[in-house]
Amino acid sequence: MRILFFVLLILFPFHSAQAQTTSTGASVFQASGLPIPRFVSLRSDKVYVRTGPALRYPIKWIFQKEGLPVEVIQEFDTWRKVRDVDGEEGWIHQSLLAGKRAAIIQGDAAVMLIKRPDRPEAQVAMLEPGVVAALERCEQAHCEVSAGGFSGWAPRNALWGIYEDEQLD
């Protein structure tokens, strides 16, 4: 009987941290109460990605770009399992992540940054694939971004760091 009590005592915290589903269909974990999955950015230009959710786990790789977007796909206590633009996954401590939104220009060709979505002829700059841009807001098919001292609107489908149907104000 005493063994059963200890087993339940040990397993209870893990059970209480299981995912719940919101009315929008997004999963929410009790660790932070925020939706899973979600996009965040790196708070520092040196972020260690580990194989598991603790300092005792080995480092898989090191991100070296502050503001880089990553997707949080799981939470455990103060650790976040993230996925990068290449689909690689690992664990990062929450203190190394920021809620500030960013996106990466994806694809094989440069993307035209325009002054306003309703004026595609008013070109501002070309953004090369791999450029990290700060996300300001999104409206239907375009998002307002800034990168390299330029601000304007880029096609949403050229950005990794925002969901297809996500609203960003």
pLDDT of residue 158: 96
With beta carbons less than 8 A apart as the criterion, state whether 20 and 27 touch. yes
List, for residues 34-71, the tens digit of each pLDDT value. 999 999 999 999 999 999 999 999 999 999 999 999 99
List, for residues 96-147, the tens digit of each pLDDT value. 999 999 999 999 999 999 999 888 788 999 999 999 999 999 988 999 999 9
Spell out the domains of the chain, with CATH numbers in brackets. Answer: 2-100 (2.30.30.40), 103-160 (2.30.30.40)
CA pair distance 31, 145, nearest whole angstrom: 31
Which residue would you say has higher pLDDT here, 81 or 17? 81
Specify burial of residue 71 (Cβ count, 10 A radius: 0-12, 13-18, 19+): buried
pLDDT of residue 121: 85
